Amino acid sequence: MGVSIEDVAHRAGVSTATVSRALRNLPNVSAATRQRVLEVATELDYVITPIASRLASGRTNSIAVVAPFIGTWFFGEVLSGIERVLHREGLDLLLYAVPDERTQDDFFARMPLRRHVDGVVILTLSLSPDQQDVLRSLRVPVASVGDPLPESFSVGIDNETAAEIATNHLINLGHERIAMIGRGRSLAGRFTAPRQRRRGFERAMEDAGLDVPAVYDIDGEYSVPGGASAMAELLSLPEPPSAVFAQSDEMAAGAMQVMRRMGVQVPHDVSIVGFDDHELAEVLDLTTMAQPVAQRGEMAIEAVLTALAAGQVKTVAERELVHTRLVVRSSTAPR
Amino acid sequence: MGVSIEDVAHRAGVSTATVSRALRNLPNVSAATRQRVLEVATELDYVITPIASRLASGRTNSIAVVAPFIGTWFFGEVLSGIERVLHREGLDLLLYAVPDERTQDDFFARMPLRRHVDGVVILTLSLSPDQQDVLRSLRVPVASVGDPLPESFSVGIDNETAAEIATNHLINLGHERIAMIGRGRSLAGRFTAPRQRRRGFERAMEDAGLDVPAVYDIDGEYSVPGGASAMAELLSLPEPPSAVFAQSDEMAAGAMQVMRRMGVQVPHDVSIVGFDDHELAEVLDLTTMAQPVAQRGEMAIEAVLTALAAGQVKTVAERELVHTRLVVRSSTAPR
DNA sequence: ATGAAAGCGCTAACAA
DNA sequence: TTGTTAGCGCTTTCAT
């Protein structure tokens, strides 16, 4: 065990330098020599040891993806898009999850990515200035799916407008008592999408001259059970809403589950609109704001690869907005 | 840029060896020295370069996870369980997807994991003998979520019995025309679960003296749209089934979607049972065979870590079966 | 086109 | 407890 480049060199009657060149398809190797080296390598079942190669070259051949969660539909989609591209390029994908604020702080404090990856993709995390500095100190191209990142590429959506459109859809159907299931107002700000979507919701309501009681702005934790609890609370209000804007399809699904259980008919009694166009939104017949999720991952990683190919340590400092669109199904109806 | 262990050593007035020891919390360093080294390291913002450390020590500190897909609920759950454990241990998670047979063959032919990871977790892939050999040649602990692996740890479920139970549930409700949505019979064998579930289904039907016309065994590609197409076909049969066993909740969901669209009532006209207890199964009110998905990932990675801690190159050669259970909701009813 | 040799930045014997 | 010194297995100038 442990065939090394020297073994190949000896056997092929050339130097290790030549073996290295031949195996990496570098120029300045005669066809005959290259051929011979490849033969011997196959014969000996030799492959370059990545670790050694990395130390010598300084190139790590891997990209880190940092996400708050893995295992939700959204992140699975994004990850899947990124993996596809990385696989094509022969790069490794290192996955890190930072599920809560403490873990995130810790992650940036230890910064395990230092001299460890050639690039980074950040998913839907909003970083403190300090954390952005840490990232910058890595001196590798970074891109983000979600929040803009100073001096880097990011691909987002217009959350505020999208939420406004979703809400207007309900307003146009004649609803007046409209609640929103999102993320607690007081929760510290690791995520900006919830705040932006709230603003869009509030803007739509205000423009329509509609009132939003405080109890109509409720936390659903961006999860199915969270959406369920939130809806249960809304339904026990003296004046329950006749329509709900859920900031994610998962929360909308949880809400629908509770309504079914309590005999509340969708859309007859309550209309509901979600966000994302989750794989199962169509099955649930859920009206929702669709966004091209996997594509966002692909765009982000492509930006990193482009920078890498150009030898830059930064991605192009641009913010790309991909479009969202309202997909009307039958979870929404006139009041 | 590029603070090295030598810089720290100089500044702290000790040797690089001592710095290395102090930073890794090895014994045989006086408290005072360790203290001093840590101070200097912080001062200089120094962290060990993983690549160099890996080359010198031979330990890569990373684990590879190989999955057919990422981005489906099942794999997201498993991955999530694995990541949690790995994060706790400070190990890196390298993610590889092999979505089709060609990619899988390629992956094992090139074997990018050689000398690159300390352990491997294989998710629901059935490996050819050659591929198993390649894996063995890595000489690192391997564990599998799914198929048994010779000489390694694996954590599975009893697919056949689970499918039998699901089918019996339908039979006990008085159904006789029962169809199964699974994976095409002729499709080459990267996955064994579909075959095992078919066997369970067939056994239950046979034991009940019920006939399964060939057209009742239909391919749903283990996806939502696949399940939808399959159900559409079943419904256009001269004698459509009165009950369906879907080998995954996603396929069941697709089937339900088609039924709703075609005005077929669940469970009044057709009963349906799924498999997995997907996050949204409860929302869909889908009867299903539940299994502890994330836990399977955790068990597999723990086996790898245990072997690693013991300095073994193999996990314990055991097959663990985790239990499944039928969760009855209202997608199934008496004929 | 090819080879010699100096690193890459650490870790691990072994010695002191 | 601490230091010295070989490597780990490659890549990459610089010669030739």
B6 touches strand C (CB under 7 A): yes
Tell me what pLDDT residue A161 has.
98
B2 touches strand C (CB under 7 A): yes
Confidence of residue A30 (pLDDT cuts 50, 70, 90): very high
Q: pLDDT for A238-254, tens place per residue? A: 999 999 999 999 999 99
- Mean pLDDT, rounded, for A265-291: 97
Tell me what pLDDT residue B142 has.
97
A15 touches strand C (CB under 7 A): yes
State whether A97 and B75 contact (CB < 8 Å): no
- Mean pLDDT, rounded, for A22-31: 90
B50 touches strand C (CB under 7 A): no
Indicate the SS3 state at residue B96: strand
Structure token pair of residue A75: 């992140």
Please name the residue of chain A whose CA is at the shortest distance from the CA of residue B60. Answer: A51
- Mean pLDDT, rounded, for A288-315: 96
Looking at A29-38, A182-191, A303-312, B163-172, which range is the least confident one? A182-191
Tell me what pLDDT residue A260 has.
95
Q: Which nucleotide is nearest to B56 (CA to C1')?
A: D8
Tell me what pLDDT residue B28 has.
85
Tell me what pLDDT residue B325 has.
98
B95 touches strand C (CB under 7 A): no
pLDDT at A2 over 80: no
Identify the CA nearest to A274 among candidates A299, A295, A255.
A255
Tell me what pLDDT residue A68 has.
96
**Of all protein residues, which has its CA closest to the C1' atom of D13?**
A17
Cis amide leading into B68 (omega within 30): no
Handedness of CA A76, A80, A81, A82 (dihedral sign): positive
pLDDT at A189 over 80: no
Helix, strand and coil in chain B, % to nearest 5? 45, 15, 40
Q: Which of residues 216-275 of A touch B (CB under 8 A)?
A: 224, 250, 253-254, 256-257, 260
pLDDT at A195 over 90: yes
* Residues linked to residue B121 through DSSP beta bridges, in sequence order: B65, B143
pLDDT at B27 over 90: no
Confidence of residue A1 (pLDDT cuts 50, 70, 90): low
Q: pLDDT for B284-303, tens place per residue? A: 999 999 999 999 999 999 99
Indicate the SS3 state at residue A256: helix
State in Å, rounded, how far the first CA of chain B is from the last one: 74
- Mean pLDDT, rounded, for A153-169: 98
- CA–C1' distance A174–D11 (Å)? 70
What is the percent of chain B where pLDDT is above 70?
A: 99
- Mean of pLDDT over chain B: 95
Strand pairing class (A119-123; A142-145): parallel
A27 touches strand D (CB under 7 A): no
Tell me what pLDDT residue A111 has.
87
User: Best mutation site among A65, A89, A279, A298 for testing chain B: the one with the most B CBs within 10 Å?
Assistant: A279
> What Å distances lie between residue B237 and A29, B206, B243, CA to CA?
65, 22, 13
What is the percent of chain A where pLDDT is above 90?
A: 90
CB B286 within 8 A of CB B256: yes
Rounded Cα distance between B109 and A15, Å, is: 26
Tell me what pLDDT residue A254 has.
98
Number of Cβ pairs < 8 A linking chain A and chain B: 129
pLDDT at A56 over 70: yes
- CA–C1' distance A302–C8 (Å)? 29
Count how many residues are written for chain B: 335
Cβ neighbours of B90 in A, within 8 Å: 112
> What Å distances lie between residue B260 and A282, A308, B105, B235, B288, CA to CA?
11, 49, 40, 12, 19
Tell me what pLDDT residue B1 has.
55
* Residues linked to residue A123 through DSSP beta bridges, in sequence order: A145
Tell me what pLDDT residue A62 has.
95
Tell me what pLDDT residue A201 has.
98
Rounded Cα distance between B121 and A95, Å, is: 15
Q: What is the DSSP string of A202-239?
A: HHHHHHTT----GGGEEE-TTSHHHHHHHHHHHHTSSS
- Mean pLDDT, rounded, for B212-224: 96
CB B95 within 8 A of CB A297: no
By the CB < 8 Å criterion, does B72 face chain A? yes
Please name the residue of chain A whose CA is at the shortest distance from the CA of residue B69. Answer: A80
pLDDT at B313 over 60: yes
- Mean pLDDT, rounded, for B104-126: 93
Residue of A62, A76, A260 with shortest CB distance to B70: A76
**Positions of strand D less than 7 angstroms from a protein CB:** 1-5, 7-13
Tell me what pLDDT residue A110 has.
87
A31 touches strand C (CB under 7 A): no
- Mean of pLDDT over chain A: 95
State whether A83 and B60 contact (CB < 8 Å): no
Tell me what pLDDT residue A188 has.
65
- pTM of the predicted structure, to 2 decimals: 0.94
Tell me what pLDDT residue A150 has.
92
Q: pLDDT for A39-54, tens place per residue? A: 999 999 898 999 999 9
Provide CB contacts within 8 A for A102, sequence distance 6+.
none
CB B175 within 8 A of CB B216: no
Q: pLDDT for B233-288, tens place per residue? A: 999 999 999 999 999 999 999 999 999 999 999 999 999 999 999 999 999 999 99
